[in-house]
Chain A
Amino acid sequence: PARPALCLLAEFADAASLLAANPDATTISIEEPADGTKSQRGRQQEPGREEDDELLGTDDSDKTELLAGQKKSAPFWTFEYYQTFFDVDTYQVLDRIKGSVFPVPGRNFVRLYIRSNPDLYGPFWICTTLVFAIAVSGNLSNFFIHLGKPTYHYVPEFRKVSIAATTIFAYAWLVPLALWGFLMWRNSKVMNIVSYSFLEIVCVYGYSLFVYIPTAILWIIPQKVVRWVLVMFSLCLSGSVLVMTFWPAVRDDNRRIALATVGAIILLHALLSVGCLAYFFDAPEVDFSAPIVPAHNGTTLIKAQ
């Protein structure tokens, strides 16, 4: 009498394993049109755009779209859900950092490096490092600037760490949020070929802030010209990463809105950089004489101020 029940159980087990296999197949066919057909439509519509980012790694992007559909399936209250945002290896993080510091013209950072695997490790730790780099460098720079003065007493200026942290984390999270909301809104009006998820935008912004870390350390050099050259240089590098990422997302829109969006992105980035320089680093004294320091990009500047 027990045997038929056992047979039924075995059949159920087989059926369950088949069903377990099937949802994957079903998932694939459901998930694909959401992300894949958009890029496919783009390819069919715009064959002439050589600089088109979708051309890059087409097969891979299809495959990674499929994999992405299977990946983030844990409910958001479990720990595994958040582990999917840290699913990166060391070499991947280093590649993404390299891609943000040496932007290749015409290559989209998101498509090339992130490939549907946005991570939160990079943005978070780059922001934290930047906070401490700015605070420590600012403190050191002020120390060297005021060193010879008799009335100067060194203070560690620990308050500035919390101010730097608030500023940088607010920038790295609120600006992507606003940009994502704006792009979603425009997407509802104008069908854009390229659209980014919120996490991908956070990822791009986080990695683009990396170049400010060596910039902040080099800002210790108490020369006005050196500092401003560094500002321009780092703004070019990280700004170009952002522009090359977001230009494809807005170029199908009204020309003026597209230009205004990209302009706003660059303006906010510049404001962050200049604001940090102005607040955390005291201005070098006018009559501060220093030896000739070769500037960051190789030209020698003469100091005799």
Chain B
Amino acid sequence: FAGLADVSISEDIPVEGEISVPVGSHSPDEDYSTLDEPVKDTIMRDLKAVGKKFVHVMYPKKSSALLRDWDLWGPLVLCVSLALMLQGGSADSKEDGGPQFAEVFVIIWFGAVVITLNSKLLGGTISFFQSLCVLGYCVLPLTVAMLVCRLVLLAGSGTVSFIVRLIVVMAMFGWSTLASTAFLADSQPPNRKALVVYPIFLFYFVISWMILTFTPQ
């Protein structure tokens, strides 16, 4: 304290200026500026995020991007397109036909919720919506399989087409299950991993069954 005793502020030095907190490189400016950006930018940003997650699903490396920035757009699009493609088979069902649109929708979403609850009850550390996001996005290989099946069925519906469809569906089922367990297995307690993986297996098995048994009228 002693050394500062003879410091004095002379009246020549202006004590004025702006006191402004330097804004951080990201948050407040971007939040405000997204109101002003063109709508195309907003939509493209979300679409790019969804597309990036699709790529992550098709090449499942252990990246945390899928988990961190979860969104449910991708699962919604996949679910709706899968349910639409499963229509048109036995639409005039006098007997039991294929699943209706609402049934596919309910199975996918209700099944994903139940699996998420199951993994959380078993002590998993993943959050609810992150898990829904992963399970929904990993339906992508099966949606591709459905597309391929419908194309193959356009060509014919004999034994050869059935074998082709069987192989495609089985491969995509394996891909879906492996992709989702790659993302979800790490968040589980180590001695309960199989307890969490089995319901995921069952979930994708049921969806694969619906795809494989699709028969157009």
Interface residues of A (CB under 8 A from B): 79, 82-83, 85-86, 88-91, 93, 121, 125, 128-129, 132, 136, 139, 153-160
Beta-carbon contact of A90 and B215 below 8 Å: no
The yes or no answer to B49 lying at the interface (CB within 8 A) is: no
Give complex CA distance A85, B120 in Å.
Answer: 12
Task: Please give me the residue from chain A that is nearest to B196 by CB atom.
Answer: A90
* Interface residue count on the B side (C-beta < 8 Å): 30
B89, B100, B121: residue with the most chain A Cβ atoms closer than 10 Å: B121
Given contacts A129-B202, A132-B202, contact A159 B96 (CB under 8 A): yes
Task: Please give me the residue from chain A that is nearest to B217 by CB atom.
Answer: A153
The yes or no answer to B209 lying at the interface (CB within 8 A) is: yes
Beta-carbon contact of A89 and B93 below 8 Å: no
The yes or no answer to B199 lying at the interface (CB within 8 A) is: yes
The yes or no answer to B62 lying at the interface (CB within 8 A) is: no
Beta-carbon contact of A156 and B215 below 8 Å: yes
Give complex CA distance A136, B213 in Å.
Answer: 10
Could you say which residues of chain B place their CB within 8 Å of the CB of A125?
A: 118, 198-199, 202
Interface string of B57-100 (1 = CB under 8 A from A): 00000000000000000000000000000000110010111111
Could you say which residues of chain A place their CB within 8 Å of the CB of B192?
A: 88-90
Given contacts A86-B122, A121-B122, A129-B202, contact A158 B195 (CB under 8 A): no
Given contacts A83-B123, A155-B215, contact A121 B195 (CB under 8 A): yes
Give complex CA distance A88, B192 in Å.
Answer: 8
What's the minimum C-beta distance from A74 to chain B, rounded to whole angstroms? 13
The residue that A158 contacts in the complex, of B98, B121, B194, with Cβ under 8 A, is B98
Task: Please give me the residue from chain A that is nearest to B195 by CB atom.
Answer: A90
Give complex CA distance A159, B123 in Å.
Answer: 34
7 A-B pairs with C-beta separation under 8 A: A86-B118, A90-B193, A90-B194, A128-B199, A139-B213, A155-B90, A157-B95
Beta-carbon contact of A83 and B96 below 8 Å: no
Task: Please give me the residue from chain B that is nearest to A132 by CB atom.
Answer: B206
Give complex CA distance A132, B210 in Å.
Answer: 11
Beta-carbon contact of B195 and A157 below 8 Å: no
Could you say which residues of chain A place their CB within 8 Å of the CB of B27?
A: none
Give complex CA distance A93, B193 in Å.
Answer: 12
A121, A154, A156: residue with the most chain B Cβ atoms closer than 10 Å: A156
Give complex CA distance A155, B148 in Å.
Answer: 20
Give complex CA distance A121, B123 in Å.
Answer: 12
Task: Please give me the residue from chain B that is nearest to A124 by CB atom.
Answer: B118
Task: Please give me the residue from chain A that is nearest to B104 by CB atom.
Answer: A158
The yes or no answer to B173 lying at the interface (CB within 8 A) is: no
Task: Please give me the residue from chain B that is nearest to A84 by CB atom.
Answer: B121
Beta-carbon contact of B98 and A83 below 8 Å: no
The yes or no answer to B191 lying at the interface (CB within 8 A) is: yes
The yes or no answer to B18 lying at the interface (CB within 8 A) is: no
Could you say which residues of chain B place their CB within 8 Å of the CB of A82?
A: 121
Given contacts A86-B122, A136-B209, A156-B210, contact A93 B195 (CB under 8 A): yes
Beta-carbon contact of B96 and A160 below 8 Å: yes
What's the minimum C-beta distance from A85 to chain B, rounded to whole angstroms? 8
Give complex CA distance A132, B215 in Å.
Answer: 19
Could you say which residues of chain A place their CB within 8 Å of the CB of B122?
A: 86, 121
Beta-carbon contact of A86 and B121 below 8 Å: yes
Beta-carbon contact of B198 and A158 below 8 Å: no
Task: Please give me the residue from chain A that is nearest to B99 by CB atom.
Answer: A158
Within 8 A of A (CB), among B87-128: 89-90, 93, 95-100, 103, 118, 120-123
Could you say which residues of chain B place their CB within 8 Å of the CB of A129?
A: 202
Could you say which residues of chain A place their CB within 8 Å of the CB of B123?
A: 83, 86
The residue that B103 contacts in the complex, of A93, A154, A158, with Cβ under 8 A, is A158
Beta-carbon contact of B191 and A158 below 8 Å: no
Beta-carbon contact of B191 and A155 below 8 Å: no
The yes or no answer to B137 lying at the interface (CB within 8 A) is: no
B96, B120, B123, B210: residue with the most chain A Cβ atoms closer than 10 Å: B96
Beta-carbon contact of B194 and A157 below 8 Å: no
Could you say which residues of chain A place their CB within 8 Å of the CB of B205?
A: 132
